[in-house]
Structure 1
Amino acid sequence: MNTAESRINTVGLVLVSHSRALALATETLIRQVTGSDVRLAIAAGAGDEGADLGTDALQILAAIESLDNPMGTLVLMDMGSALLSTETALGLLPESVRARVLMSSGPFVEGAMTAALAASGGASLAEVQQEAENGLRMKQQQLAPDNITAEKNRQIPAATPKHQRSLHLSDPAGLHLRPAAALAKLALARSTPSFIAAAKHPDNRVSASSLTAILGLDLRQGDEIYLQTSGPDADAFLDRAAACLQENQHPPAKIPTPVENEATKHPQGAAPGFAQGPLIIRDGLVTTVPRSYCDDCAKALHKFLEAIAEVRRQLSDHPILEAQNVLLSDPALLEKTTTLIQNEHLDAASAWAQSISQAASQIDALSDPILRARAADLRDLGNRVLQALGVTADSQPWQGPPAILLVNELLPSVALRLNPKQVLGVIDRHGSANSHAAILLRGSGIPYVINADPVVFANTQYVAMDGKTGELWPDPDAQILVTLHDRERMHQDQNSAGSYGQITLNDGSTLELWANVASTAEAAAARRLGATGIGLLRTEFFFLDQKTLPDEESQCQSLRQVMAPMQGLPIVVRALDAGADKPLSFIPIGTEANPALGRRGLRALLAYPDIFALQLRAMLRAGQDHDLHIMLPMVTNPEELRSARMILDQAHRELEAAGHPHRWPVPFGIMAEVPAVALCMKQFNGLTDFVSIGSNDLTQYTLASDRSNALLQTLGNAAHPAVLELCRKMVQDSHAPVSICGEAAGDPQIAPLLVDCGIRRLSMAPPRLSNMYTRVSGT
């Protein structure tokens, strides 16, 4: 028998690890000793190319199948959920293959090495497994030569945690989604069980690796909690866990928190604005799944795991989506679904829907309104997986005449698709002002009232609503409608047609007011209000709900629709600003320790030049009949701008060769968001045609203050002297015109300070134009 045949007829080894780097290093160590005589496969890491920490049952399944032969396969696992993932993979194997697979409880590195040596010598599967179990024998003999002592040590039970840490929750939101997700992720990476309990209910301890179980404890600010674990790294784990929870070692003063009583609930405003119109009841916005069963449980489980893997690929390291990613690894959810499939023979969709429904109901019962709002996110995640399973929700809730929707619970993925022209307002039987759905509706200008009593609308055909106060008027009479009409007219006067584009200042110079837009409706509003032009057309919003990159024609059409109302006026289109708080599934940036300082904006575009060039061609084509300007986000060095200009020139040549009409040449400018640009502005002279200050990021990078962290708001905003000094320096050093398109441009308290710095172009959300005009002009 030759060497190749000998190698085929040996036991195969599968290394299952949370860390792909660890598995690869272990393989390298083995190969240095055994050479190529061992059949070995790696199933390590999660996400694209295994870049994230985690394990994937489908990856393990593929690894086992690739090594299968009559000699069998031994699987070695590093810790924690690797065991669960491997057991799940084994459940998906045909019985004939599963019978030839064993799992090892031996140490990962030492066990893999001793198992590889045995396998390379032709040992049987049982013998290879035994060698892996004995992987620590030499070390144990050296450190504990007394075999009796060693045996006693092995017999010490590890069921009861030996280490406990008492902490008090100081976060005003209690133990909410993000720190809970960080704790669960930390616990999942350990092989030793960890637990968390509230001091007020010490017997009700739950696994620290289950995010749904942690949230179910309903922990509030001031609550004392116990973290419990065992193992030699217990103290290190407890230290890291405390850091995840951002705890103080001294308990804060307890503040009485009112508990909301179901009987005292009343409607609340969650997104301001007035609306009146026909009432449409749409209970079907949340996907419902009829209970159905399967004949092939293994096939159903495989389908479920594929759906989980697909959704995991869609998610990213954005803090909110990262928490959803942790939920996808939640042992409680996965085990519940697996049990329903295997024991009750439910199909994948029915089992998952039941698991999500029960988990969300537990969150609904919590007393903290912020935590209760996360139930919608849990159901939203449930819908993502159901869609991956082929069960789709009605993603276009209303396509008829303009109306007000009454829903049972508005999910963020649905809110994202509401058209303000068709959906005049939303009344929610549940909901939360802190929900992501509310944030999306506030951004789109759709009034939103939550916590509505469905009984009130039992026979209602027409309704009026105030999204600011939460007031509702079912079937209002004529007098009420007149009163509401007057109130709404006063509210909308500031957004009536006008000429708010230019102001002559006392020094004789002209201040131009431009508009930031992301939709056709916003562009139309900007034109109606007389904006000088579009100072920022955000393109990333075209892609946020896309799983794949839209083609050139689709991008071109989307841009044309938004540009159309501004015909004849200058339009500044920002290239795709992906990364950080705007993750896109088709740009695999991967996990970054600090996304705000990572590959985002132009950095990401230059890393994916084909995607960049595609968008530039779409911009040039869409801007054929417009005064088009193209702006680059997150620029740091002049070399980046030179590289981008080369790609722009190539895009022009490709369109010219293909005979596509397009705008050429076009002004090419930069966003000044990084302090390095402000400090070295002279180096960009001659390279950029214009500069637009992104005050949001410039402020957070200058003050080293995360703009999304409410606890850091006291550090300052764009009115901080350091930020204003950078703005003033850019105006002085730049040969190109300098504008500002961040939130500060529309802030009536900050904008005059920017004007004092010499800035003569302010770009803001269209509704702010009239107020800013009045504030600066004094009229």
Structure 2
Amino acid sequence: MPGVAILLVSHSRSLAEATAALIRQVTGADLRLALAAGSGEEGAELGTDVLAIQAAIEALDSPAGTLILMDMGSALLSTEMALNLLTDSLRERVQLSSGPFVEGAMAAALAASGGAPLSAVRQEAENGLGMKQQQLASDRNSLEQPPPPATPVTPEQQRRLRLSDPAGLHLRPAAALAKLALARTTPSRIRAARHPEQAASATSLTAMLGLDLRQGDELIMETSGADAAAFFDAAAQILATPSAPNPADQIVPRVPSRPGGTVAGFAQGPLLIPKALLARVPETHDPDSTKSLQQFQAALEKVQQQLSNHPIVAAQALLLQDPVLLEQTRKRIQEDHLAAAPAWAQVITEAAARMDTLSDPIVRARAADLRDLGQRVLQALGIAVESTISPGAPAILLVDELLPSVALHLDPRQVLGVIDRHGSTHSHAAILLRGAGIPYIINADNPALSSARSVAMDGTTGEIWLDPDPVTLKKLLEHDATRCALPEQGDYGQISLSDGSRLELWANVASAAEADTARRLGATGIGLLRTEFFFLDQQTLPDEENQTRALSQIMAPMQGRPIIVRALDAGADKPLGFMPLGDEANPALGRRGLRALLAFPDIFALQLRAMLRAGRNHQLSIMLPMVTNPEELREARGILEQAHHTLEAAGQAHRWPVSLGIMAEVPAVALCMDGFNELADFVSIGSNDLTQYTLASDRSNPLLDALGNAAHPAVLELCRKIARDSLVPVSICGEAAGDPDIAPLLVDCGLRRLSMAPRRLPEIFTLLSQRSSHTHE
């Protein structure tokens, strides 16, 4: 028989969805739960809708009854009006709760999922706030170091239990205890028998993990209430039952094969886990503690939504509900008048530092989870993440998710390789690492990595060896066939094909180091100078002088050779704080590239002026991303001409005239090249996005890799059509141009300009030269 159903009525669709996501983390998918939130189309506006509430009650109807929780004010009035529209029999199965919206909904959901009757579910909801009030009194200082003496209140009941899990009290059993404790209205504590003076609230993950309990340890559970015996029995079962085997929890010499190789190459060396990112948040104060608390709560809810659908971090998400962390942060905001960001950063940094000292390597690894979540909340608060990592001695980096703004600044002389707990083969971070020649492995979420001192990694296969002994390391080095040192100099820019035509190899760059490599290896020119990476770690728009200086530094090594600079490709997976594009259901199909630039013409014009100034002594061309219609190109050309006139009037030296080209990334361009032939000076195929849009496959989703790449017949046919129909030069500047399996196919499609990561030039040159020679023979 279905259990009690829960209906959330709120003025805000976002608030209701975040609360529902929070509940699902604990109850799973079986609970009957529905929302009636917001007003207007799809609940986008603030308010409540009587008819929507009525419809939700009717659709949710359960024989066990339905409990409705409302957020405030008119939500109650609207719900009561909706009840009057129901049939008498249905109305009798519905009850309204006066419990707090979030805490009450969580408590009610736990009771309902446990099979409690409607009256008990309602009582749990209305006890929700009392539970928090009691917890805060007992939890306030449980994370302080050294821990304070336990509250001198003798609990009514206590029981001694023994921990059987070989991994100790790690995240999953601690999370199970926290869920058990959260479902009760009576506070409960846990102590290590060897340190009975240390008490941790059973609702606090970080406090329990901080007890450093290991297999065989005796612990003391304390609580009160009529259900204490049942609570002890359930806790004993959690502590006595080893967690189900999980490869991610095993400490083994070699990580299972799930990680994927993304950038080829072998590396070995000390492992470095960057830990200083949160410590760099400046200590700022805000006398308006109410506003800071609201900002903090909004940031938590935003991050909770981000984590809600990720199975790997389901237990991590509970850390965002940890009452000790939250109360410590709120205390610093209210009593010390710290702003939200520094208050949160201090609490997370201190908690993670304490966890770093624990003996259990799996529990120590949770310090990285704390820092990861701490960083996410800081980003939600508008704090830019530190964009440079300086390992000192050469090392391999272990990161939670490599951001493009961080990857941009990694020096291959210092960073031997990167191991990413998340990541994607087609991410911009991966593109940057390929350009730098830094081996890269993704989806390496084994907590044992955090305890290793050194690793060996194969960026081709995704294999990782933890603390390899000398014999193993020698064998790995002997079998390494992927390392290939780049020549100091080379002439890899042009190939004469057997049909008498000339094939040009160009370089994609985003830094002066890459441009220098391109020049040394003889690239014909820069086929793509990416500019968005200048902006990804900026909270405000860089001014014209700074943009000019940054571009000039990258262009300098390529003096005398053609340079194509792409205008800012913002939007989708490259959001910028100073260019608010708004929330979009599908940002990859929204305002990105040229669409975003035309929506912010002042930002566009500023960048164009910087390009013209930086390129005054170069063979400069400008390329527009994400073009769809000829009208967009006409409008962009008008803004470019105005930028020229502005600089001319100011007496600023700059390049003029310049060629203006388009990126062919949208299938519409390939199908309608005739409309661009009289407007564009050149065309460059962006194979990454053209593949994504042609195959309807999100390039950042690793689960869709099997759908195909630029070698798919549909993508190749579009490339062939562009090369055939265009009356101006055509190049290709996506990752496909540097792929040895795809580059020959692109040549067969009629393309004669391939632009790739500089380090790919020797291999692609050799491959295509040999192929041309064999064809000629």
Same fold (TM over 0.5): yes
Q: 1:320 to 1:515 in 2, by over 3 A?
A: farther
Is 1:680 paired with 2:705?
Answer: no
SS of residue in 1 equivalent to 2:483: helix
**Partner deviation per Cα, 1:604-632 (whole Å, 9 max, x = no partner):** 11111000000000000000000000000
SS of residue in 2 equivalent to 1:641: helix
Q: Assess if the C-alpha contact under 8 Å between 1:140 and 1:150 holds in 2.
A: no
Q: Assess if the C-alpha contact under 8 Å between 1:373 and 1:431 holds in 2.
A: no
Find the partner of 1:18 among 9, 12, 15: 12
SS of residue in 1 equivalent to 2:693: helix
**Partner deviation per Cα, 1:724-779 (whole Å, 9 max, x = no partner):** 22112112211101111111111122111111111110111111111111111107
1:581 Cα offset (Å): 1.4
SS of residue in 2 equivalent to 1:571: strand
1:425 Cα offset (Å): 2.6
Matching residue of 1:595? 587
Matching residue of 1:87? none
- Map 1:479-628 → 2, pairs under 5 A: 491-628=483-620
Letter in 2 for 1:752: P
Q: 1:641 to 1:529 in 2, by over 3 A?
A: same
Letter in 2 for 1:17: H
Matching residue of 2:60? none
1:438 Cα offset (Å): 8.5
- Map 1:91-240 → 2, pairs under 5 A: 112=74, 140=83, 143=86, 153=95, 159=108, 204=179
Q: Assess if the C-alpha contact under 8 Å between 1:438 and 1:448 holds in 2.
A: no
Is 1:633 paired with 2:628?
Answer: no
Letter in 2 for 1:285: A
**Partner Cα separation in structure 2 for residue 325 and residue 648 of structure 1:** 46
**Partner Cα separation in structure 1 for residue 70 and residue 371 of structure 2:** 41
**Partner deviation per Cα, 1:279-305 (whole Å, 9 max, x = no partner):** 898975243599x9x9x9985564454
**Partner deviation per Cα, 1:322-358 (whole Å, 9 max, x = no partner):** 9999999989448655433567977554566446876
1:398 Cα offset (Å): 3.6
Matching residue of 1:340? 328
Q: 1:693 to 1:319 in 2, by over 3 A?
A: farther
Matching residue of 2:719? 727
**Partner deviation per Cα, 1:668-709 (whole Å, 9 max, x = no partner):** 100011111111101111111001011111112112222233
**Partner Cα separation in structure 2 for residue 318 and residue 455 of structure 1:** 29
**Partner Cα separation in structure 2 for residue 54 and residue 204 of structure 1:** 34
**Partner Cα separation in structure 1 for residue 176 and residue 275 of structure 2:** 38
**Partner Cα separation in structure 2 for residue 662 and residue 488 of structure 1:** 49
Q: Assess if the C-alpha contact under 8 Å between 1:410 and 1:437 holds in 2.
A: no
Is 1:377 paired with 2:366?
Answer: no
**Partner Cα separation in structure 2 for residue 642 and residue 695 of structure 1:** 24
Q: 1:369 to 1:518 in 2, by over 3 A?
A: farther
Report percent identity of matched pairs.
47
Is 1:287 paired with 2:278?
Answer: yes
Q: Assess if the C-alpha contact under 8 Å between 1:632 and 1:670 holds in 2.
A: yes
**Partner Cα separation in structure 2 for residue 512 and residue 386 of structure 1:** 47
SS of residue in 2 equivalent to 1:739: strand
Find the partner of 2:728 among 736, 757, 768: 736
Q: Assess if the C-alpha contact under 8 Å between 1:456 and 1:474 holds in 2.
A: no
Is 1:776 paired with 2:758?
Answer: no
Q: Assess if the C-alpha contact under 8 Å between 1:681 and 1:734 holds in 2.
A: yes
Q: Assess if the C-alpha contact under 8 Å between 1:289 and 1:350 holds in 2.
A: no
Q: Assess if the C-alpha contact under 8 Å between 2:405 and 2:536 holds in 1.
A: no
**Partner Cα separation in structure 2 for residue 280 and residue 499 of structure 1:** 36
Q: Assess if the C-alpha contact under 8 Å between 1:572 and 1:631 holds in 2.
A: yes
**Partner Cα separation in structure 1 for residue 497 and residue 765 of structure 2:** 11
Matching residue of 1:261? 250
1:722 Cα offset (Å): 1.8
**Partner Cα separation in structure 1 for residue 620 and residue 43 of structure 2:** 40
1:17 Cα offset (Å): 3.0
* Worse overlay, 721-730 or 709-718: 709-718
Matching residue of 1:649? 641
**Partner Cα separation in structure 2 for residue 511 and residue 297 of structure 1:** 61
1:552 Cα offset (Å): 0.6
**Partner Cα separation in structure 2 for residue 146 and residue 386 of structure 1:** 48
1:378 Cα offset (Å): 1.6
**Partner Cα separation in structure 1 for residue 308 and residue 86 of structure 2:** 46
Find the partner of 2:406 among 399, 402, 416: 416
Matching residue of 1:193? none
**Partner Cα separation in structure 1 for residue 738 and residue 400 of structure 2:** 30
**Partner deviation per Cα, 1:577-599 (whole Å, 9 max, x = no partner):** 00111111111111111111111
**Partner Cα separation in structure 2 for residue 548 and residue 325 of structure 1:** 31
**Partner deviation per Cα, 1:28-60 (whole Å, 9 max, x = no partner):** xxxxxxxxxxxxxxxx99xxxxx99799xxxxx
Letter in 2 for 1:717: N
Matching residue of 2:748? 756
- Map 1:38-117 → 2, pairs under 5 A: 112=74
**Partner Cα separation in structure 1 for residue 316 and residue 268 of structure 2:** 40
Q: Assess if the C-alpha contact under 8 Å between 1:300 and 1:341 holds in 2.
A: no
**Partner Cα separation in structure 1 for residue 605 and residue 489 of structure 2:** 38
- Map 1:645-724 → 2, pairs under 5 A: 645-724=637-716
1:407 Cα offset (Å): 7.6
SS of residue in 2 equivalent to 1:759: coil
Matching residue of 1:61? none
**Partner Cα separation in structure 2 for residue 52 and residue 134 of structure 1:** 18
**Partner Cα separation in structure 2 for residue 410 and residue 705 of structure 1:** 24
Runs of 5+ consecutive residues of structure 1 not aligned to the other structure? 1-14, 23-43, 46-50, 56-75, 80-104, 113-131, 167-196, 217-254, 458-463
Runs of 5+ consecutive residues of structure 2 not aligned to the other structure? 1-8, 17-36, 51-67, 100-104, 116-171, 184-203, 209-243
**Partner Cα separation in structure 1 for residue 277 and residue 668 of structure 2:** 47
Q: 1:146 to 1:734 in 2, by over 3 A?
A: closer
Letter in 1 for 2:547: Q
SS of residue in 2 equivalent to 1:262: coil
Q: 1:759 to 1:340 in 2, by over 3 A?
A: same
1:498 Cα offset (Å): 0.8
* Worse overlay, 317-326 or 407-416: 317-326
Q: Assess if the C-alpha contact under 8 Å between 1:420 and 1:445 holds in 2.
A: no
Letter in 1 for 2:608: L
SS of residue in 2 equivalent to 1:559: helix
Q: Assess if the C-alpha contact under 8 Å between 1:630 and 1:669 holds in 2.
A: yes
Q: Assess if the C-alpha contact under 8 Å between 1:570 and 1:626 holds in 2.
A: yes
SS of residue in 1 equivalent to 2:691: helix
- Map 1:328-477 → 2, pairs under 5 A: 332-333=320-321, 336-341=324-329, 347=336, 349=342, 353-354=346-347, 377-381=372-376, 384=379, 388=383, 397-398=389-390, 403-405=393-395, 412=402, 416=406, 419-421=409-411, 424-425=414-415, 432=421, 444-446=436-438
Q: 1:520 to 1:306 in 2, by over 3 A?
A: same
Count how many residue pairs are aligned between Structure 1 and Structure 2: 579
Q: Assess if the C-alpha contact under 8 Å between 1:746 and 1:763 holds in 2.
A: yes
**Partner Cα separation in structure 2 for residue 573 and residue 550 of structure 1:** 17
**Partner Cα separation in structure 1 for residue 377 and residue 529 of structure 2:** 33
Q: Assess if the C-alpha contact under 8 Å between 1:280 and 1:404 holds in 2.
A: no
